[in-house]
Amino acid sequence: MSTNAELYERARALIPGGVNSPVRAFGAVGGTPKFLTRGEGAYIVDEEGARYLDMMCSWGPLILGHCHPEVIEVIQNKAALGTTFGAPCRAEVELAEAVVGAYPGLEQVRFVSSGSEATMSAIRLARGATGRDLIVKFSGCYHGHADHLLVAAGSGLVTAGQPSSAGVPKAFAALTIVLPLNDEEKLKALFAAQGDRIAAVIIEPIPANNGLLLQHKEFLLTLRKVTRDSGTLLIFDEVISGFRVAKGGAAEYYGITPDLATFGKIIGGGLPVGAYGGSKHLMSHIAPEGPVYQAGTLSGNPVAMAAGLATMRILDREKAWTKLEELGALLEKEVGAALADVSTPWKVIRVGSIVWLSFQAGEAPRSAEVLDQNVGARFAPLFHAMLDRGVYLPPSAFEVMFLSLAHTPEDISKFAKALRESILATAA
Ligand SMILES: *Cc1c(COP(=O)(O)O)cnc(C)c1O
């Protein structure tokens, strides 16, 4: 039998770091990554037969849990009819209707194959539509790995982008301005100085890639206002929050409509899909109607579209967002009870089924600048203590957990109990 360690060794010889996406390598927590063979509802099984409660849910797509029977049936039936055509198919029209019908202000969407592709294309569209080059992002927000979005903040005031990856030209990164989250003054100052040169601001309205840095609604309203006033397009990156926090994503949750929105994760029903969309007028800039080019061999893939559509239908039918909110509230309550007498600082920060366990003392952080990086070291032993108790957390202190409709109240209790034991076992 192949063990995790054996497979990891073979993988490392062939694939950089042994993984096809960096954080899977357990770099922040140490140890050997688990090679997974099977998912069953809220559980995953590795090559050694170990079974874990899955609190990661593939980083967000699995809002129904693993292998929902209806989704699997749709995938099997569709695949038997042909896995790709490179020509239009009914499923992409139906999924487009579902996405456009769900999201505030959306009139058209274009499907791509990943969230990175969606944000990259939305930025290109924004530049093409406005004729401006500058874009603004917020430090701590992740938008996939397109060059102009792989830019982090330096400290200090408005920072001209420094690439946070080798291979991104400085000249290119200089077109990305990085602002801190939760800072209206810097936002207003930037727009007063050069708002008319900025093509777009891209933000995760519910920033969930660096802990969960919840913004005040007022900050998002100010962002909406300054962008509108200066002809800058506001892009909500809803790759995590879309169909997760509400049917209409963060736009519905906050009652704020962006000019463009990007999607991924959930809309593929577990297969590789991304999408970006906006008003008909804006989307008319995209080829073949307009001059902004964007294409994809596997875009609108029939199997992936059908899996996404099946997922949307189930979410609607099951009143998913109400149930997930209840489950999230239960988790908060159970963790609260389990950790009531624990002396380590902890906090559950949560929107619906997006949950972050913060071990930082003091107020809930709202920007990357105030994150305490030291908690990372304390997280590693906790992560392994949870694995020992059959619970799989995302392998970093700054990644959020996701609940699915497959998680039960018993799973939540198991999680809370394991968390208490693990914190007590690893407290210095
Ligand atoms: C995951 C993610 C992306 C990138 O999506 P991929 O499918 O991994 O390329 C973009 N934006 C946000 C907010 C994400 O969480």
Q: Where in the chain is the domain with CATH 3.90.1150.10?
A: 4-67+319-425
End-to-end CA distance of the chain: 37
What single-letter amino acid sits at 314? Answer: I
Residue 21 alpha carbon, nearest atom of ligand 1 = 8
Residue % of the chain over a pLDDT of 90: 89
Please give the Cα distance from 244 to 251 (Å, whole number).
11
pTM: 0.96
Q: At 63, give phi and psi (nearest 5°).
A: -70, -20
> Is residue 61 in contact with ligand 1, taking CB distance under 6 Å?
no
Residue 204 alpha carbon, nearest atom of ligand 1 = 13
Residue numbers annotated as active site: 142, 237, 265
Mean pLDDT of the chain: 95
Q: Where do we find the tokens 């397109």?
A: 146
How high is the pLDDT of residue 154? 36
How high is the pLDDT of residue 160? 52
Under 8 Å between Cβ of 265 and 271? no
Residue 59 alpha carbon, nearest atom of ligand 1 = 1
- The superfamily CATH assigns to domain 4-67+319-425 is Aspartate Aminotransferase, domain 1 (3.90.1150.10)
pLDDT tens figures, 326-337? 999 999 999 999
> How many Å lie between the centroid of ligand 1 and the Cα of residue 107?
22
| CA distance to 64, 150, 162, 164, 353, per residue, from 133 (Å) | 40, 16, 16, 20, 36
How high is the pLDDT of residue 156? 35
How high is the pLDDT of residue 168? 86
Tokens standing for residue 366: 């709202």
Q: Where in the chain is the domain with CATH 3.40.640.10?
A: 69-316
Please give the Cα distance from 110 to 295 (Å, whole number).
9
Residue 161 has pLDDT above 60, yes or no: no
How high is the pLDDT of residue 1? 52
Topology at the third CATH level for domain 69-316: Aspartate Aminotransferase; domain 2 (3.40.640)
Burial of 212 (0-12, 13-18, 19+ CB in 10 A): buried
**Sheet order of strands, 134-138 included:** 108-112, 274-278, 260-263, 233-237, 198-203, 134-138, 176-179, 159-160
Pairing of strands 43-46, 36-40: antiparallel
User: In the beta sheet, which residues pair with residue 134?
Assistant: 198
> Is residue 116 in contact with ligand 1, taking CB distance under 6 Å?
yes
